[in-house]
Structure 1
Amino acid sequence: MSAHFHLALPCLSISETKAFYVDSLGAQVGRSAQNWVDINLYNNQITFTKSGPFNFDCQSYSFGGEILPSFHFGIILEQQKWKTLLNTLKFRNVPVQSEVDFLIEKVGEHHSFFLKDPNDYTVEFKSFTNQSEIFKY
């Protein structure tokens, strides 16, 4: 099944959020108003509404020896696009929190990097060595 997702999140600043997703990640702006903006991130819609910080206390979890935030969202890219984005972010001096390889030489092997947006959300970008294994175990 192929479909787009929609995610709505509170944000601290529309202008800073827009600048991060457009200037750093290359996303496009969709509809917007004074207190909200739609961001087109790889043909998925994230709506940011200016309403203050997200107050969601949750535990992190461990996967493959790495500590990951329980609350995060991300995009799965094919390997070349993933590498290009990572190199672009590094060139633009966008801080990448971590780069991690998961399940090496196992079903579902993938590579991820994580960064924080201006609202303190963790955004993950991952690429599977074999795209057909995204949901396999």
Structure 2
Amino acid sequence: MALSPFHLAIPVHDLAAARQFYGETFGLNEGRSSEQWVDFDFYGHQLVIHEHPQTPSQESAHTNPVDGHDVPVPHFGIVLSWPEWEALAERLQGFGTRFVIEPYVRFKGQPGEQATMFLLDPCGNALEFKAFKDMGQLFAK
């Protein structure tokens, strides 16, 4: 099944820092922009960072327990192939990224086993990147 690209617009209280983070740390290509917002090609999807005062969830994220870790809510991200996920984890570690949840494999030996990592952008938006060795397990119960 071919997936349609999604569009996600998120608030950032420091446009310059967020632009550098998504452009340089992640290596995302920049699209259109103005003095208040920037489009990025987020793995084939449209991510737009919009200048906006800091939100309560950016100041202090709520968490829910998942597999023994406190997962920040809200969060967004992408499901990558296993090799892409490993390369991204290595890239982020090379940039000295502080992770909310370090890269690891959760639900080991269970349906839905997956590699995952959580981090915050410079404005406090939580991101998750995950991968499945078997993409058929994406929605496994």
Partner of 2:73: 70
Aligned residues: 137
| Paired-residue identity, % | 28
RMSD: 1.5
Q: Choose from 85, 90, 93 the match for 1:87.
A: 90
- Output the amino acid matched with 2:90: N
Higher mean displacement: 10-19 or 52-61: 52-61
SS at match of 2:30: strand
**Deviation >3 Å, runs of 4+:** 56-59
Is 1:45 aligned to residue 49 of structure 2? no
Matches within 5 A, 1:117-136: 117-136=121-140
Higher mean displacement: 89-98 or 127-136: 89-98
Mark the runs of 5 or more structure 2 residues left unpaired by the alignment.
none
Normalised to the residue count of structure 2, the TM-score between the two structures is 0.89
- Inter-partner Cα distance in structure 2 for 1:58 and 1:85: 23
- Inter-partner Cα distance in structure 2 for 1:109 and 1:124: 15
Normalised to the residue count of structure 1, the TM-score between the two structures is 0.92
Answer whether contact 2:99 2:117 (CA < 8 A) is retained.
Answer: yes
Q: Choose from 111, 114, 120 the match for 1:116.
A: 120
Answer whether contact 2:29 2:41 (CA < 8 A) is retained.
Answer: yes
